[in-house]
């Protein structure tokens, strides 16, 4: 059973949402957790890749973009539209769909921007998780 957290973002702009995501990544990285960010967009992956390098003025978050079946030692990986993921502690789902590999993670963070269509998609994922007996938590960031 996984612990599922829905993080509701008050921001509307992509830049503000990306900063909130980087804060979640940093928080988990500092707690010695490995993080897999899954997106269905190459442009979003590139934006995250760029921001994770410069997120803090005095440090960066070690990461790389992950290609399916590749081998990486980075504690933070970004995957684009994958059907399988590496074994890591936390999944941050940045897609509008359920991932095919979500059950392998002990913790899943579902990111929900302040957009009605994206909220409706998140409600469907919430319903799925609830029907499957997952532990659910909602955080308003």
Instruction: Give the number of domains in the chain.
Output: 1
pLDDT at 68: 85
Domain that holds residue 73: 3-140
Please say whether the beta carbons of 101 and 109 come within 8 A: no
Q: pTM value?
A: 0.94
- CATH number, domain containing residue 58: 3.40.50.10110
pLDDT at 1 over 80: no
Measured CA to CA, the distance from residue 19 to residue 76 in angstroms comes to 16
Q: Of residues 124 and 59, which shows the higher confidence score? A: 124
pLDDT digits over 56-114, tens only? 888 789 999 999 888 889 999 999 999 999 999 999 999 999 999 999 999 999 999 99
pLDDT digits over 22-62, tens only? 999 999 999 999 999 999 999 999 999 999 999 888 878 99
pLDDT at 58: 80
pLDDT at 118 over 80: yes
Q: Which of 135, 123, 85, 114 is nearest to 20 (CA)?
A: 114
């Amino acid at each position: 059973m996984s612990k599922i957290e829905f993080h509701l973002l008050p921001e509307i702009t992509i830049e503000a949402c990306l900063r909130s995501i980087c804060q979640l990544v940093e928080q988990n990285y500092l707690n010695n957790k490995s993080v897999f960010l899954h997106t269905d967009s190459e442009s979003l992956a590139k934006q995250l890749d760029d921001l994770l390098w410069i997120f803090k003025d005095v440090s960066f978050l070690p990461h790389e973009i992950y290609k399916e079946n590749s081998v990486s030692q980075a504690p933070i990986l970004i995957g684009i539209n994958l059907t399988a993921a590496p074994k890591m502690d936390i999944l941050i789902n940045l897609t509008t769909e359920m991932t095919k590999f979500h059950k392998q993670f002990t913790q899943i963070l579902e990111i929900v921007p302040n957009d009605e269509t994206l909220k409706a998609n998140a409600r469907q994922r919430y319903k799925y998780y609830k029907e499957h007996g997952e532990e659910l938590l909602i955080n308003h960031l």
